[in-house]
Amino acid sequence: MSHAVLSRPDREMSPLRSGPRLVAGLVFASWLALVILLGEREVFVAPRGTPPLPLLIAFTLPVVVSLFAYWISPGFREFVLNADLRFLTGMQAWRFGGFTFLALFTYAILPGYFAWPAGLGDMAIGLSAPLILVALNRNPNFGASKTFVAWNVLGLLDLVVAVTIGAIGPRLLASDQVGAVNTSAMAHLPLVLVPAYLVPMFIIFHLTALFQARRFAGKPSARSY
């Protein structure tokens, strides 16, 4: 049963095909609605000169909760280990939208020290996601390969680095002064959706893929690429 994720190429990509998946879809939709509601109320905006703790909490809490649930709940763990890798991989293609950071840098809305690494990193993952998806469709066991693992690890590193730069960059470069271009725009709608929703969601997808890759890496049918 557990091998079905990697061995059934005819499986539907829709994440809402079964009861647990419907629940997962509702959780993600509710999470998005909550972030929008809090964003409208400026909850994520930290006072000038203070660390962006509201955004850091919004970024880390969903990831921590998902890892805790994976650790303590056999049912949730089984759901994670049977999620469709093609759906998880295909969703990462949306990260090509990282070019928006470069556009915002051009208009002096975001600083270059954040826009360039975050934008180019996301674009690289977004552009390569279709290639990984094609490899999964051709050979479902590709999900246990070293290439697949490395791609997901790089995707995780890109997100963590971007959030780290956005959080500590203004303090290290003294760009949080009045009139300086900094990352404060990321605490306001619509940009707050990136660190408070999209980034933790993509991290959860990468972790899910890595959990599956670890589970199937030892199977005889798994191949290295």
Instruction: Provide φ and ψ at 154, rounded to 5°.
Output: -65, -40
DSSP designation for 201: H
- Residue that the structure tokens 């890892």 belong to: 67
Helices (H), 44-91: 53-72, 74-81, 85-91
Q: Are 66 and 205 in contact (CB under 8 A)?
A: no
pLDDT at residue 1 tops 50:
no
Question: How many CB atoms lie under 10 A from the CB of residue 223?
Answer: 12
| Confidence class for position 211, pLDDT limits 50, 70, 90 | very high
Q: What is the DSSP string of 120-153?
A: HHHHHHHHHHHHHHHHHHH-GGGGGSHHHHHHHH
* Residue 122 pLDDT greater than 80, yes or no: yes
47 near 55, Cβ under 8 Å? no
Looking at residues 101-110, what average pLDDT do you find?
Answer: 96
- Residue 135 to residue 148: CA distance in whole angstroms: 9
| pLDDT at residue 6 greater than cutoff 60 | no
Query: Which residue shows structure tokens 């890595």?
Result: 210
Whole-model pTM: value is 0.87
Kindly tell me if the per-residue pLDDT of 222 is higher than 60.
Answer: no
d(CA 23, CA 110): 36
Place of tokens 């000169």: 49
Confidence of residue 15 (pLDDT cuts 50, 70, 90): very low
User: Is cis: bond before 190, omega within 30 of 0?
Assistant: yes
Confidence tier at 173 by pLDDT (50, 70, 90): low
At 16-44, the pLDDT tens digits run 456 778 889 999 999 999 999 999 999 99
Give residue 105's identity as a one-letter amino acid code: F
Structure confidence by residue, pLDDT tens digits, 33-89: 999 999 999 999 988 778 889 999 999 999 999 999 999 999 999 999 999 999 999
CA atoms within 13 A of residue 147's CA, in its CB half-sphere: 15
Q: What is the pLDDT of residue 223?
A: 46
Q: Given a cut of 60, is residue 3 above it in pLDDT?
A: no
Nearest in space to 5 (alpha carbons), one of 222, 192, 161, 225: 222
How does the average pLDDT of the chain come out, rounded? Answer: 87
Residue 163's alpha-carbon distances to 98, 139, 156, in angstroms, are 13, 34, 11
